Amino acid sequence: PDDERLPLSGVLSLAQMSDGRLFAGATEGLFAFDGHGGTVTFDRHAPDRAESIGRGYVAALLPWQRDTLWVGVGGGGQVEAFRHDPAATESLSGDYVTTLAPGPDGEIWVGTRSDGLNLCRVDPFSCRRIPGIDNAAPADHHVTALRRGREGELLVAYDGGGVRRISAVDGADASRTQR
């Protein structure tokens, strides 16, 4: 029956952990499938629960060291809620996280919807904002996808066109945009 189906109408991201658990980030929240017995759990933002995920769509998932899952949402960070703080230059550049990728030396690349690209250190959490092409072209603000290249560089796709290669070592522009 339809009322027994999971509300997975808007799946935006998938991630599988080393123990077989599968996570689906959706417009409704975060679904976890145990990978063995068919048990499914669901979490969504609940302002009265400090341990709930951030508000908004679950747009990005990144399995991490020691079986940790980073969750990027359209409203701020993960369970520990790493967020944009206008007064802190080392915070995320924006709260709508669109994509995540492993970075160099245990860091994480974080792409945002309207505020560009960040390279973040995990412990203690701090981010370095990576300048856009030509230092602020509007199309560089909405990062849609991140992938590691064959030589370890980061490939960054932008809404509005273009793919940029960024050095995995220092975040410097390694090529011009190809539109």
Average pLDDT value for residue range 96-121: 90
CB proximity list for 39: less than 8 A, separation 6 or greater: 33
Q: What is the pLDDT of residue 76?
A: 54
Site of tokens 């991140």: 146
Confidence of residue 10 (pLDDT cuts 50, 70, 90): confident
**Residue (of 137, 139, 119) closest to 129 by Cα position:** 119
How many angstroms separate the Cα of 107 from the Cα of each of 16, 37, 59, 64, 70?
20, 34, 19, 10, 12
Highest mean pLDDT among 4-8, 34-38, 68-72, 80-84: 68-72
pTM of the model: 0.81
**φ/ψ bin of 146: left (φ > 0), alpha (ψ from -120 to 50), beta (otherwise):** beta
Angle, CA 90 vertex, CA 50 and CA 162 arms, to 5°: 100
Predicted confidence (pLDDT) at residue 118 exceeds the cutoff of 60: yes
